[in-house]
Homo-oligomer: A and B are copies of this chain.
């Protein structure tokens, strides 16, 4: 068992960076699965795209469409959205990702707390993160947010004209950034048959976080 100070990047970040580099020739190396708990208590699971780390932090970044969770005629507010999508009985914002790298046989299961940065965000830094994420998205990706409401029935008369979007226009209302602040990283290297679990913790009477690591049988 060992611990590392929060001022240096935790060991799991090195492992994740190496895995990303070793698998970068595969388009799907940025795809991972996100598990959440629905409002009715049942599990949800879907493929999302890893968009890198929030600058200067260990938070993983993703984007999502606030309309995609419930086929309601009105977009949910960010608060309702996070309530409906990411509710758990313990924490309102717990989620777990499962990130499997197909070439190197490495699995990262990361549990942590999420934050959603939507159109109502008032914090200037977070607004900036959302804008940056929007402008660094491909135009095809942006088009999806400007397209028809996801999850609604397709009707024959549906207007299938391509939506128009000015390339200089900022994020559309439904565009949200999701950040995941890891609290536990469970890493398995299937080729080497090794497993390490990294847990973020605080020492008594100290402010800074530490990462404790422990090797487990796979």
Which residues from chain A sit less than 8 Å from chain B, CB to CB? 1, 26-28, 31, 33-37, 40-47, 71, 88-91, 94-98, 100, 102, 107, 109, 111, 144, 147-154, 214-218
Contact = CB atoms under 8 A, between A and B. Distances in A.
9 contacts: A28-B102, A33-B33, A35-B43, A43-B88, A43-B94, A43-B96, A47-B107, A147-B217, A152-B216
Nearest to A100: B47
Nearest to A215: B154
Nearest to A86: B43
A149 B27 CA distance: 36
A93 B89 CA distance: 17
Nearest to A44: B96
A212 B71 CA distance: 18
A148 B217 contact: yes
Indicate how many identical chains form the complex. 2
A216 B45 contact: no
* Residue of A33, A41, A216 most packed against chain B (CB within 10 A): A33
B33 A100 contact: yes
A89 B33 contact: no
A218 B143 CA distance: 13
A153 B173 CA distance: 47
Contacts of A98: 33, 45-47
Closest 10 CB pairs of A and B: A41-B89, A35-B45, A35-B35, A33-B33, A45-B98, A35-B43, A28-B102, A154-B215, A41-B90, A41-B88
B91 A42 contact: yes
Contacts of A144: 218
Given A100-B31, A148-B217, A217-B148, A94 B42 contact: yes
B43 A95 contact: yes
B153 A90 contact: no
Contacts of A216: 71, 150-154
Nearest to A107: B47
Contacts of A153: 1, 214-217
Given A40-B90, A42-B88, A154-B215, 20 more contacts: A27-B102, A28-B100, A28-B102, A33-B35, A35-B35, A35-B43, A37-B37, A37-B88, A41-B90, A42-B96, A42-B111, A43-B96, A45-B97, A45-B98, A45-B109, A46-B107, A150-B216, A151-B216, A152-B216, A153-B214
